[in-house]
Structure 1
C-alpha cells in the first residue's frame, strides 16, 4: 500500500514550512506505507513471542497475558484477561479496517464489477474449500475437526510482503493477490460469524440492532462530528460481545455502516471554491481579516467534505493496526513452547498435520484448480500477461495464514494441546509457504521480466 495521495498532498505542503515534516514525518509516513514493512514487524513480534515462551522466563510470558483487567462504568462491568482484551477488543479494530477495505473494493475497486471480480472469487473459493476439506479428512471423527476453518485464511500483510520482495512482479499479479485476499477475508469473517460464535442471546442482539438503526439515523441526519458514532459503536461492540456472536464481527458490521461517498464531489468543490477564492482575494485587498477568515473556514470545510469518511478512517487506522494492533496480537498469541518433548507430541497430532497440509497443499491446489476450471468453463478470464506458473507461486504464497489462522485456532479449540499444535503448524507452514512461494515466483519471472510497478 503506497502513501495515500491526500496524505501525501498534506505532507507536501507541510514540508515547505516545517523542518519536522520535511525530515521526519514524510519519511516516517513513506516507511509506514511501504509494502511489506508491517509484515516484517509482525514476523518480529511472533519471533519475539516464541523466544520469550521458550526462555527461562516463560512463566512470566504466560502469566502476563492471563492478568485480569476490569472496566466498570455504571451498569457496565467487564473483566477479561489481557489476552482476551487483545483478541476481542483490539482485533475489532483490525476487522473494522478489513471491513472498510472490503466495502471500498466492492464499490470502487477490484471487486466492483463481476468481470473483474470473477477470477479472484473463484480462486479464493478454491483456496478456502480445499484446505478445509483436507483438514477435515485428517481429523474426521475426532473432536479436533472443529478446527477446519484454521487453514482457510491468508495473511495479506505477509503475502503482499513476499510479492514486494520479489523483483519484476507485474501489477496484474499484485491486483490478483490483493483481490483474492480480500475475498478470502470475507470468507474468514463469515466462518467466524456463523461457526465460531457461541449461543445467541436475543436481548443484547436486539439492542445492537437498535444501535445500528441509530447510526443509520445519524448518517441520514448528516451528523458530521464523531462522538455519537464512537459512543454508539462502542455500545454496539459491547452488545455483540454479550449476544454470543464473536465481538470482532462488530468491527466488520460497523465498517459496512461507514459512508463511502463524499459529501461534496470534486466537481462541486471546484464550482463552489472559485467564488470563495475570489471573495478571499477581495477581503485580503480590503484588509478585512474577519471576512478572509470566514472564506478560509468555508474552503476548509469544503475540502474536508470531499474526503469520503471510509477513506479518512482507513488512513487514520492503517498505521495503528499495522504497527500496534497486529504486532501486539502476534506477540500475545504466537508464544508456544517448542521443547523436544512438546514438539514430538505436536507433530504427531492430526491438528498439526491437517493445518500443514491444508496451508501448504490445499491452498495452492484449490486456487489453481478453481482458477483453471473457471477459465475453461469461461466463467472468468485469465489476464493475458499472467502465466500459470505465476498463479501457482501466488497460490503457494497464499498459504501464509499467520494472523487469522492463529485467531481462529483460539476460537476452534479449548484445550491447550490442540491450540499449541495449530499455532506451531501455522507458523511452520507460513514460513515454508513464504520461502517456497518466493522461489517459485522468482523462477516464474525468470523468462518473462515485467517492469516492477
Structure 2
C-alpha cells in the first residue's frame, strides 16, 4: 500500500481490513488454480518427478548439526509459520480495532466456530471409534479462509459485508482452534529444554511490548529464534507464528492528534520554501521536511497493522498457493473410490459437509436464541445456512493436519481425496444456497 500524508491512522485501519478481504478473494482463486495444477501433475507422467522435487532435502548448517528438512517440510514448518503469523495478526486486529471489537459482533462467530469444530470431530469419531485411524479426528475441523472467501466473492456485492466479516471471523477463530489442536494433540517427543527456551523468548517479547519497543526488526529477530525453539521442541513450529503475532505491539509511537499537529507544522514550513523554482533535489531543506513527514507517518501507524498490510499479499499470493502445490497433489488411481467405503473417508467427508453445516448453523441459531448475538446485518437464515455449508471447505488446514495425523501410506491419499471431494461439494452447495437465499431476500425487500 502506498503511504499518503493525508491518510490518518484510522483510515489506515479501515484500509488494512479492506485490503485483507480483497487479497483473500484473489488468493482463493490462486489457491483453486494451484490445487488443479497439483492434482493434474500427480495424474500425469510428471508425477514421479513432482514427488521427488518436494522430497529434496535442504540443510541449514550441516548434516550432523543443524536443521535438515525436505522442501515439503520447509514449506509446512517454515512458510506456514508466516501464514499463521498473519492469521494471528488478523485475529488480534479484529478483536482490538475491527468488527469484532464490539462484543456482540464478536460472540456469534466464536460460538459458530466452536460448533463448527466440535461437530465434525464428533462425527469423525463416531465413524472411526476403535479403529486404527481415530487420530484423524482433527482433519475435518477447520475452515479454509482463502477458499471460502474466494468462493463467496463469486457472488459479488450481493453478499452483505457483515456476512463476509462473519465468515472471515469464523474462519480465523476456527484456524486458531486448529492451531491449539495441533499443539496439544499432534505434537510428539517434547523437548522441554527447547520448549523452555521458547517460553523464555515469549516472556522477552511481551516485556519488550510493555516497555514500549516498537521496532519491527527486533520482534522479527526474536521471532525467528522462537520458531527454531519450537521446531526443536516437538510442539509444532506453526504455533510460534501465532504467539509472535500476539506479542506484536498495536499502540503507535505518535497519536493522531500529535501527528496532525506536527504534519501541519511541516507543511507550513514546506509552503515557505521556493517550490516553484527549486525541487527537493536542489533544496535540501525540502527533502528534510518530506523525510520528517514520512517519519511522522511511520510513527503514527501501528506495527501490527504495518506488518499485516505488508505480509497479507505474500500470504495470499505466494504461501497458500505454494502450500497447495506441495500438499494437494493426489493420484486418482484405480481403487480411489475406496474413499466412499473407508471409515476415515466417511468421517472426513460427512464431517466437513454435514458436520460443519450442523455445527455452524446450529450453534449460531442457539446463540442468537439465547441472546448471545444477532444475525449479521443484511443476512437471513437462508444465508446463514449457505455460510454453514461454505465453512465445510476445509482444504488448507485439513491437508495440514492430515500430514500430522497419519504416518503415511494409502490413508494419506484417502484423506486428501476425501478433503478435495468434500470441499468441492461444500463449495457448490454453499454457493447455491447462498445465491438462492440472497436472491429471495432481494425480491422481498
Moved more, 259-268 or 139-148: 259-268
Are residues 1:166 and 2:155 paired?
A: yes
Q: Is the CA contact (8 Å cut-off) linking 2:5 and 2:297 kept in structure 1?
A: no
Partner of 1:340, secondary structure, is coil
Q: Which residue of 1 aligns with 2:399?
A: 406
Q: Which residue of 1 aligns with 2:92?
A: 103
Shift of 1:258: 0.9
Are residues 1:142 and 2:142 paired?
A: no
* Residues 381 and 30 of structure 1: CA distance in aligned 2, closer, same or farther (over 3 Å): closer
Q: Choose the corresponding residue for 1:340, options 327, 330, 334.
A: 334
Matches within 5 A, 1:150-299: 150-167=139-156, 168-220=158-210, 222-282=212-272, 284=274, 289-299=283-293
Shift of 1:301: 0.8
Partner of 1:56, secondary structure, is coil
Instruction: In structure 1, list runs of 5 or more residues that go unmatched.
Output: 1-6, 14-28
Shift of 1:222: 4.7
Q: How many residues align?
A: 429
Q: Is the CA contact (8 Å cut-off) linking 1:346 and 1:420 kept in structure 2?
A: no
Q: Choose the corresponding residue for 2:441, options 431, 448, 452.
A: 448
Are residues 1:66 and 2:60 paired?
A: no
In 2: Cα distance, 1:208 partner to 1:247 partner: 11
Q: Which residue of 2 aligns with 1:417?
A: 410
Shift of 1:308: 0.8
Q: Is the CA contact (8 Å cut-off) linking 2:84 and 2:238 kept in structure 1?
A: yes
Shift of 1:111: 2.2
Q: Is the CA contact (8 Å cut-off) linking 2:84 and 2:241 kept in structure 1?
A: yes
Q: Which residue of 1 aligns with 2:299?
A: 305
* Residues 219 and 378 of structure 1: CA distance in aligned 2, closer, same or farther (over 3 Å): closer
Are residues 1:327 and 2:321 paired?
A: yes
Q: Is the CA contact (8 Å cut-off) linking 1:32 and 1:319 kept in structure 2?
A: no
Q: Choose the corresponding residue for 2:369, options 376, 379, 399.
A: 376
Shift of 1:292: 3.6
Shift of 1:386: 2.2
Shift of 1:45: 0.9
Q: Is the CA contact (8 Å cut-off) linking 1:258 and 1:309 kept in structure 2?
A: yes
Partner of 2:66, secondary structure, is strand
Shift of 1:294: 3.2
Shift of 1:122: 1.4
Shift of 1:218: 4.1
Shift of 1:199: 3.0
* Residues 129 and 74 of structure 1: CA distance in aligned 2, closer, same or farther (over 3 Å): closer
* Residues 344 and 30 of structure 1: CA distance in aligned 2, closer, same or farther (over 3 Å): closer
Shift of 1:382: 2.5
Q: Which residue of 1 aligns with 2:39?
A: 50
Q: Is the CA contact (8 Å cut-off) linking 1:31 and 1:37 kept in structure 2?
A: no
Q: Is the CA contact (8 Å cut-off) linking 2:23 and 2:312 kept in structure 1?
A: no
In 2: Cα distance, 1:290 partner to 1:385 partner: 54
Q: Which residue of 2 aligns with 1:391?
A: 384
Shift of 1:36: 2.4
* Residues 65 and 306 of structure 1: CA distance in aligned 2, closer, same or farther (over 3 Å): same
In 1: Cα distance, 2:339 partner to 2:52 partner: 23
Shift of 1:226: 4.3
Are residues 1:318 and 2:312 paired?
A: yes
Shift of 1:39: 0.9
Are residues 1:41 and 2:35 paired?
A: no
Q: Is the CA contact (8 Å cut-off) linking 2:162 and 2:377 kept in structure 1?
A: no
Shift of 1:173: 1.5
Partner of 2:61, secondary structure, is strand
* Residues 173 and 216 of structure 1: CA distance in aligned 2, closer, same or farther (over 3 Å): closer
Runs of 4 or more consecutive aligned structure 1 residues displaced over 6 Å after TM superposition: 29-32, 285-288
Shift of 1:391: 0.7
* Residues 235 and 75 of structure 1: CA distance in aligned 2, closer, same or farther (over 3 Å): farther
